[in-house]
Amino acid sequence: MKKLLFISGILILLFACSSEKVNFSQLQDRNGLFYLANKDKPYTGDIASFDNGKVELEGRVEDGLRVGLWTTYYPNGQKKTEGNYKEGLKDGTWTYWKDNGQQEGVEIYKYGKMLSNEGTMAEPPKDTVKEQPVAEQKPAPVKQAVAKPVEHKAQPVVWEQLHGGPVKYLNGIPYTGPVVKYMRTGGKELDGYFERGKRQGKWVYYDKYGNVKDVRYY
């Protein structure tokens, strides 16, 4: 009986330790991925942050990236912000409150890009914007506005400038754009494209003579 109680106590202790949240301040940001100190593998687990013994932040990190629901709090325990992360980027609805519990604003994101906002952070109401006379709109041809962005093509980034594991980062942000990699001899090794840090579309691989040896699609 004593042996059974002893084993049960150990199991309960192990479960408690495994579910304990890591203080967010213990994590290190290495090129956009979070690690525990002296660890080579990106961190996975629940995190929290405290101020004078009170929780000020709760969330989760998987493979070094923020994921799922993240919540911050005022010192009085009232929620300050709440929203979801997807692959390290804000995604979905984010809500903001004042310290008295009154909602302050709402923002909607898609992979880190804000699509809309409402509340105190919103743009001025439409009725405060004066309509422009039809005559004043004529000098702005539609063709010119559309043509300008097309003229500028993104230059490929060299592979060695990117960092991270499954998701590639440039300056701490998941990279979107073309990439090129060169061999030591100077010849091109590959051409490809990243979308939010992940391989996307057509990737071409070359041999040492500059001939195409493989083409892959992601």
Distance from C-alpha of 125 to C-alpha of 133, rounded to nearest angstrom: 19
CA dihedral (179, 185, 187, 189) in degrees, to 10, reads -50
Distance CA 60, CA 19 (A): 12
CA distance 148 to 146: 6
Residues 146-200: pLDDT tens digits?
Answer: 434 333 357 888 888 888 777 888 888 889 999 999 888 888 899 999 998 898 8
Which domains are delineated in the chain? 19-127 (2.20.110), 157-217 (no CATH)
Helix (H) or strand (E) holding 3: helix 2-18
- Does pTM surpass 0.75? no
Q: How far apart are CA 191 and CA 182, in angstroms?
A: 9
CA distances from 122 to 106, 114, 115, 126 (A): 8, 12, 12, 11
In angstroms, rounded to a whole number, what is the distance separating the alpha carbons of residues 45 and 18? 9
Q: Number of C-alpha atoms within 13 angstroms, CB side, residue 154?
A: 12
pLDDT tens, position by position, for the chain (218 residues)? 555 545 445 444 443 444 578 888 889 888 778 999 888 899 999 999 888 888 999 999 999 899 999 999 999 999 999 999 988 889 999 999 999 999 989 999 887 778 887 754 434 334 433 444 544 555 555 555 443 433 335 788 888 888 877 788 888 888 999 999 988 888 889 999 999 889 888 999 998 888 998 888 88
